[in-house]
Structure 1
Amino acid sequence: MTEPELDVHREPADTAAALREDVRYGFSAAQKWLPAKWFYDARGSELFEQITKLPEYYPTRAEREILAREADEIARVTGAPTLVELGSGSSEKTRLLLDGLRSSGTLKTFVPLDVSASALEEAVTAIRADYPGLDVRGVVGDFTEHLGLLPGGPPRLVVFLGGTIGNFLPAERSKFLRSVRDVLTEGEWLLLGTDLVKDPDTLMRAYDDAAGVTAQFDLNMLRVVNELLGADFDLSRFTHESYWDADNEWIEMRLRAREEMTVRIPGADLTVRFADGEYIRTEISAKFRAAGIAAELAESGFAVQRWWTDEQNRFGVSLARATEDEVIE
């Protein structure tokens, strides 16, 4: 089978350069950290798909429950001919939206964007096979950089699912939401999935499962640094852990050094020293409340039109419309 043509806005060399910059910045900080996007090479995407099927990991099931119930309503309200998915991965849940829009008779174009070319190729091939006649235009890129290059005609429905918005710090979240609004015209749509605040035990188990798949996923970030920048991280010398920050209402994933060590990263021209017990923060995953989500969207130029949760009130999906830009005299 011929590989699907993709719009490529991030080449392998660009990926290595971006990782180099993040490694230099994050590993030079007093509290070492790396952005969560570096989990997702082909192996990381595969591991995350496994995580979504774990009994402890409720967000995927809860969000799917909402979309299965409300996809037809989303299609009716938006009337969107173009569906744009940011961070598409396998696009599994998006099929519910595609089905709703196709049934409503409006769907013409599907634009999945993902940083992983391999995951995107697989998703695009599968969608084209299952939705003959649909214009599928895969975009390899970073949704924090390449939003302005997305194809498709208005009114577009942009979807950002899985609670991925929680991976941004509050200031980054505001900047990102505004960047989405800036590429949309008035009246276009954003469908946003957000994990909700709940009891810490449920949250902790979701990010530290008994089978250890999340630990493999977390450690995969160091493997990515090894592969792309020639680092000599020994993954066996780090352990995965999760931590609930009650003040900020977010989960942190961390890789903690089991012993003192020195790691060389030739591709970043960097040598990094770790004390025994020192950790790298690899992810934050903020949890939300309905009023807070509506306020953040309003500040970014969106008005929430619909708000849904699953039956157990674990996860929320908001449908927001781009509002008229303010005219500054």
Structure 2
Amino acid sequence: MKPGVEWGQPRTCTDNEQFGADLHAALVRTPKAISPKYFYDEAGSRLFEQICELPEYYPTRTELALLEAHAADMAEQFGPGVQLVEYGAGALRKVRLLLDALPRDGAQFVPVDISGPHLLAACDALAADYPGLAIQPLVADFTQAHTLPPCPDGSRRVGFFPGSSIGNFTPAEAEAFLRLAAAELAGGGLLIGIDLEKDHDVLHAAYNDAAGVTAAFNLNVLERARKELGAEFPQGGFEHLAFYNPAYRRIEMHLRATRPLELRVGGEAYAFREGETLHTEHSHKYTVSGFQAMAERAGFRPGKVWMDANRWFAVLWLEAAGG
């Protein structure tokens, strides 16, 4: 493959029809809940990048510091000749640290993300800064069936899943994703970031920032429904709610009704009691040993671990058998 961005025919897994169907399903279940993947339209992706810069939001700066300090050691685990696949690629900021540590000749980069415009803009910027790198973006929901480009001869496929995004899955969903990843990364491995268990006050502040950016990010799900699906709901009818749920070892984000109201979409009306919520996201916190045990069940062999001095965040190398 020639260096540069090979656009091909990127596949979009979610469209207005799927969003509408999933929103209806979310609003009829008890309790009401929708997948966090619908945060990431173009506006939501921009808001998330702002969250990553907030002083309260420690995961991004902590993981970046680990990558800056240990990228060469991490890249050494990959071996020569790599097809690097980034799941949930976003702004492609962290992967640059790995790319700088990899031999440029023969490297191929496959960023996978659900937000097409955001991904393709990020790939244009990356291509300008890494002119010798073959880039093949894939617009897809990486948790569902998808087809990666063929791995070049003599290369092995390595996954990169930073940002503790694995915490957005339930434990069962996380293990299912790891099984999928172990199969498509067979003979290679996965470099993954996980958020560790810590003081609950630190967690609360990270998801309730003073500037209100996380609140805007959460509420954008409804704004997206208004723009794309014609949803109708009262102005100020919902508010951001985030808290730590110790029973599940996770932060939960909800949209809470500020008063009795109806949310109308697609000809249907859904009633909310005052205080009733739409659950939009959860972020599970792990121990290293607990996560490694889950990865082993999914078909990986645990390898090196890098942690910050506070033991707030960890990056793990997992070897994928086979290939």
TM-score by length of 2: 0.93
Instruction: Identify the residue that residue 310 of structure 1 maps to in structure 2.
Output: 308
Matched, 1:163 2:161: no
1:138-180 deviation per Cα after TM superposition (whole angstroms, max 9, x unaligned): 1111101244334433411101110100011111111111111
Q: Aligned partners of 1:299 and 1:147: how far apart in 2?
A: 22
Confirm or deny: 8 A CA contact 2:166 2:174 kept in the other structure: yes
- Identity, in percent, stands at 39
Instruction: Identify the residue that residue 253 of structure 1 maps to in structure 2.
Output: 253
Find the partner of 2:12 among 4, 10, 20.
10
Instruction: Identify the residue that residue 243 of structure 1 maps to in structure 2.
Output: 243
Confirm or deny: 8 A CA contact 1:7 1:138 kept in the other structure: no
Confirm or deny: 8 A CA contact 1:223 1:233 kept in the other structure: no
Instruction: Identify the residue that residue 286 of structure 2 maps to in structure 1.
Output: 288
Instruction: Identify the residue that residue 274 of structure 2 maps to in structure 1.
Output: 276
Deviation at 1:235, TM superposition (A): 5.0
CA pair 271-321 structure 1, distance change in 2 beyond 3 A: same
Matched, 1:119 2:109: no
Q: Number of matched residues?
A: 316
CA pair 89-219 structure 1, distance change in 2 beyond 3 A: same
Q: Aligned partners of 2:185 and 2:264: how far apart in 1?
A: 43
Confirm or deny: 8 A CA contact 2:242 2:253 kept in the other structure: yes
Three-state SS of the structure 1 residue aligned to 2:70 is helix
Q: Once superposed, which parts of structure 1, at least 4 consecutive aligned residues long, lie more than 4 Å away?
A: none
Instruction: Identify the residue that residue 233 of structure 2 maps to in structure 1.
Output: 233
1:18-54 deviation per Cα after TM superposition (whole angstroms, max 9, x unaligned): 2123212211111111111111111101111110000
Instruction: Identify the residue that residue 77 of structure 1 maps to in structure 2.
Output: 77
Deviation at 1:125, TM superposition (A): 0.4
Q: Aligned partners of 1:158 and 1:151: how far apart in 2?
A: 14
Three-state SS of the structure 2 residue aligned to 1:236 is coil
1:37-84 deviation per Cα after TM superposition (whole angstroms, max 9, x unaligned): 111111101111110000000000011111111111111121252111
Q: Aligned partners of 2:254 and 2:49: how far apart in 1?
A: 20
Q: Aligned partners of 1:93 and 1:210: how far apart in 2?
A: 25
Three-state SS of the structure 1 residue aligned to 2:160 is strand
Matched, 1:193 2:193: yes
Confirm or deny: 8 A CA contact 2:179 2:298 kept in the other structure: yes
CA pair 231-275 structure 1, distance change in 2 beyond 3 A: same
Q: Aligned partners of 1:6 and 1:57: how far apart in 2?
A: 36
Residues 61-100 of structure 1: pairs in structure 2 closer than 5 A? 61-79=61-79, 80-100=81-101
Confirm or deny: 8 A CA contact 2:12 2:116 kept in the other structure: no
Q: Aligned partners of 1:235 and 1:106: how far apart in 2?
A: 54
The letter for the 1-side match of 2:296 is: A
Q: Aligned partners of 1:50 and 1:237: how far apart in 2?
A: 24
CA pair 178-135 structure 1, distance change in 2 beyond 3 A: same
The letter for the 1-side match of 2:134 is: D
Deviation at 1:107, TM superposition (A): 5.1
Instruction: Identify the residue that residue 138 of structure 1 maps to in structure 2.
Output: 137
Give me the CA root mean square deviation: 1.7
Instruction: Identify the residue that residue 148 of structure 1 maps to in structure 2.
Output: 147
Confirm or deny: 8 A CA contact 2:88 2:111 kept in the other structure: yes
Instruction: Identify the residue that residue 28 of structure 1 maps to in structure 2.
Output: 28
Q: Aligned partners of 1:253 and 1:150: how far apart in 2?
A: 35
The letter for the 2-side match of 1:112 is: P
1:92-149 deviation per Cα after TM superposition (whole angstroms, max 9, x unaligned): 01100111113xx565111111111111111110111000121011111110124433
Q: Aligned partners of 2:259 and 2:8: how far apart in 1?
A: 44
Deviation at 1:5, TM superposition (A): 2.6
Q: Aligned partners of 2:10 and 2:227: how far apart in 1?
A: 21
> Structure 1, unaligned stretches of length 5 or more?
none
The letter for the 1-side match of 2:12 is: R
Q: Aligned partners of 2:72 and 2:106: how far apart in 1?
A: 12
Three-state SS of the structure 1 residue aligned to 2:275 is coil
Confirm or deny: 8 A CA contact 2:105 2:132 kept in the other structure: no
Q: Aligned partners of 1:152 and 1:204: how far apart in 2?
A: 42
TM-score by length of 1: 0.92
